[in-house]
Chain A
C-alpha cells in the first residue's frame, strides 16, 4: 500500500485490482448530488459487488476562483473572500490570511487582539469539529448526534453573532488586529459556554465512543499509515490519528499559541475510530486553550498601526496555521502594489482528500462513506 508506484497511479484504470472471477466491474457515480459526499464531491467508484477496487474523485463543482479573485482585489478587500473557502471554519481562514499579510507588511497585532483571535479561532475549531461529528455520525447511520451537536454549535454562533454580526462567514479579523472591540460581557459569555460545553462532549462520547456498532463500523476502517500520510501531505487530525505528533500550533507557533498550555492528542492505528477520538480530545484541548486565553485577556489596543492603503514591499511569504481540518497555508507574492501578485492557498481538505483512494481500496461501499466523513472535507475549500 505504501509503494508510491501503485498508490499514486490510481487515475489509471488498469492499475487497480481486477474483480473476482472476471466479473463485471460496477462503476458507480457517487455524487455530485449525494447525501453523504458533504457537498458536491463526485466519487467514481469501481466496485466488485460491494468491494471497492478503486476510486477517483472528481472535484471542481464549487470552483469560484478564489485565488484568481485575490489578484484583482486589494489586500483588505480580499479578506472576506477567504471566509468562503472553508465556510464552517471561516474564522480560521481569516486568521491565516490576516497573519500572512501581517508578515508581508511586517506588523504584528497587539496582544489583546491576539488573545481574542485565539479565543475565536478555538471556538471555531470546536464548531467545526461539532459539525464534523454530527455529519460523520449521520453518514454512519446514527442520526441523533447531529441534532445534539447543532444545538451546542448554536451557542458558539451566538457569540460570533454578538461579536461581529455574522454567524458563518464572520470576517472577524482585520489585517493588523481586530475591527471591533469585544462586546460587554464577552468573557463571561465565553466562560459560560465552556461550562455549558464540557459536559456536552461527554454526552457525545456517551452516544458513540463505546457504542458497539459505532466501534465496529469505525475500527480498522480507512487505515492510513504515518508514512502514507506524510507522502500525501495529509495534515491535521488525520495525520495525528496516525501517530504523528505534528500540530502547527506547537511546531511553528503563530498568534500567541506559545503562551498557552495544551496537549496534542494523537492516535495509534490511523483508523476512523482513532480519528474520531483525536477530534474529540481536540475539542477538550480547545476548551483548555480558550479558558486560559479568556483568563489572561489583556487590556490595550486591538489594532496595530497599518497604513490605510496597504502596499507591502515586493516579496513573497508562506504562512500556515492549524485550521480545524489541518494545515491551512497562504502563499502570497507581492509586487509592491496594492493588490497581491499571486495568492495561493494550501487547503487542508484538498490535500487530505487525495488520500481517499488509498484509504478505501479493498473496503466496502459503506466504508467509503465513513472515510469521506472522517476526512472532514469541505468542498468549498477543496474547490475554492
Chain B
C-alpha cells in the first residue's frame, strides 16, 4: 500500500509529463481528464456555436431547454442516443459500423501529445507533431469508408470530395508546419525538435512566438495553416463534404443516432486538435503573454489572477442575466438554474485564485483560451462566408497555398541560414 501511494505521489514533484516519467497511474488519470475535458468542450462548443451563430443572425438560438438553452446540447445528446439505430439495407455493414469508430479514434488519439502545459500532457513524444498530423489524417479513411459503405450517391460524392480536399490541403499544411519546425532549431545547439512541448519551449527560449518570427514569414506560415486547418476539418467555407444545400449531408447522409453523433464528436474534437497544433506551433502554446518581457514574481502573481477573473466574469454574466430573467413564476426554475450555473462558475473562479491551483492551471488556462479564440473564428467563418466550389477549393489549395508554403519554407530556411552566418562572422 505504501509503495502504491509513493508511486502515485512521486509524480507530483516531477516536471515531466506522466508518459515521459513512465507513471502509468497518472497517465491513465490524464487520459481520463483529457477525454472528459474534450467531451465537455464539444458540448460547450455545440451550445456556443448555436448561440453565437444565432446572435450573428439576429435570432436568439436555443432558449427553451434550460436557461438560455444551456441544457440543449444535453437534450440533443439524449435524443441522439435514444434514436433507432438505422443501417441502410444495401450498406456494407462492417465498414459502415467501422467508419465512425475510425474517425472518432483518430480525432481523440491525437490528444495524447497535445501539450496543455509543460507537464500537462499525456505524454511527450519526440515525434509529437508528426504523430498529430499522421493520426489526424487517418480520419480521411473513416470518411471514405462511411461514404463508400453507405452505398448511396450523395455520401459517395461527399466522401470523395472530402478525401480529395483533406489530402490536398495536408500538403500545404505540412509545408507550413515544416517552416515552424525549422525555427525551433535556431538555438545554441542548432538542433530542432518535433516534440510539441519542445516546440513551445523553443518559443520561450527564443523570446518570441513563431507567428512573429522573421516577420512576416511566420505570419504567412500561420495564415497558410489557419486556412488549411479549416479545410482539413471540413468546416465552412470549405464544408463541401457536407454541403447541405448540395449533398444533403455529405458523407454522413445515411447515418443517424449514435453513429452520427460520433461523427459530430469527431468533427468538433478534430477542430480542437488542429487549433491546438496552430496554438502550439505559432502562438506559444501554454505560454502566457510576454513571459520573458514581463517576467518576475510580481508579474507571475498578476497573470495568475487571470483564470480566476475570467471565471468570475462568466459568473457575473450569469448573475446579470439572472436579474434580467422574466419575473413570471414559470421562469422560476430557469432563473434558479442560471443562478446555480453562475454559482458553479464563480466557485471554479474562486478555486482558481488558490495559489497552488492557479500556478498549476495557469498553462491550461492560456492554452484553452487561445484554442477558444480559434473556435470562435470557426463560428465566425461559418456565419460570414459562402461556400467554395470544389474546383475553386482545389485551385486555392494547389495553386495558392502550396506555392506560398514552399516559398515561405525556402525563405525561412534562407533567412535562418543568413542569421547564423552573420552571427558567426560578427562573434568570431
Contact = CB atoms under 8 A, between A and B. Distances in A.
Does chain A bind chain B? yes
Interface of A: 26, 28, 34-36, 50, 137-144, 146-148, 151, 208, 211, 213-214, 216-217, 364-367, 369
A141 B237 contact: yes
Interface residues on B, range: 20 to 34
Given A141-B239, A364-B390, A213 B385 contact: yes
Interface stretch (B51-59, B142-150, B282-290, B357-365): B51-59
Nearest to A135: B245
Given A36-B245, A141-B239, A366 B58 contact: no
A79 B196 CA distance: 72
Listed residue (B157, B240, B384, B385) with the most chain A CB atoms within 10 angstroms of its CB: B385
Contacts of B387: 140-142, 213, 217, 366
Given A28-B154, A140-B387, A217-B388, 17 more contacts: A28-B153, A35-B245, A138-B245, A139-B245, A140-B245, A141-B236, A142-B386, A143-B53, A143-B382, A144-B384, A147-B58, A211-B385, A213-B237, A213-B385, A364-B389, A369-B245, A369-B246
B3 interface: no
Interface string B122-158: 0000000000000000000000000000000110010
Interface in B7-61: 53, 56-59
Contacts of A50: 157, 161, 390
A217 B237 CA distance: 12
B60 to A, nearest CB: 11
Contact of B388 (A26, A137, A138, A213): A213
Contact of A151 (B58, B236, B245, B389): B58
B246 A36 contact: yes
Contact of A142 (B239, B244, B385): B385
13 contacts: A50-B157, A141-B239, A143-B53, A144-B384, A146-B57, A208-B386, A213-B387, A216-B388, A216-B392, A365-B157, A365-B246, A366-B246, A366-B389
Interface of B: 53, 56-59, 153-154, 157, 161, 236-237, 239-240, 243-248, 382-392
Contacts of A34: 248
A185 B243 CA distance: 46
Contacts of A140: 245, 386-387
B27 to A, nearest CB: 42
Listed residue (B244, B387, B392) with the most chain A CB atoms within 10 angstroms of its CB: B387
Contacts of B240: 366
B389 A144 contact: no
Nearest to B153: A28
Nearest to A138: B245
A380 to B, nearest CB: 20
Contacts of B392: 216-217
Contacts of B154: 28
Contacts of B153: 26, 28
Nearest to A29: B153
A213 B245 contact: no
Nearest to B53: A143
A340 to B, nearest CB: 40
A23 to B, nearest CB: 13
Contacts of B391: 364
Given A34-B248, A143-B57, A216-B392, A366 B243 contact: yes
B383 A35 contact: no
A220 to B, nearest CB: 11
Contacts of A366: 240, 243, 246, 387, 389-390
A217 B58 contact: no
The 10 closest A-B pairs by CB, nearest first: A141-B387, A36-B245, A147-B57, A142-B386, A141-B386, A139-B245, A140-B386, A366-B389, A213-B386, A28-B153
A35 B248 contact: yes
Given A35-B245, A213-B386, A366-B389, A144 B56 contact: yes
B386 A217 contact: yes
A301 B382 CA distance: 53
A208 B385 CA distance: 9
A28 to B, nearest CB: 5
Listed residue (A143, A146, A148, A211) with the most chain B CB atoms within 10 angstroms of its CB: A143
A228 to B, nearest CB: 23
Contacts of A216: 388-389, 392
Given A34-B248, A35-B244, A366-B243, A214 B386 contact: yes
Contacts of A151: 58
B367 to A, nearest CB: 30
A141 B245 contact: yes
Listed residue (A137, A141, A211) with the most chain B CB atoms within 10 angstroms of its CB: A141
Contacts of B59: 147
A5 to B, nearest CB: 30
Contacts of B58: 147-148, 151
A280 to B, nearest CB: 16
Nearest to B154: A28
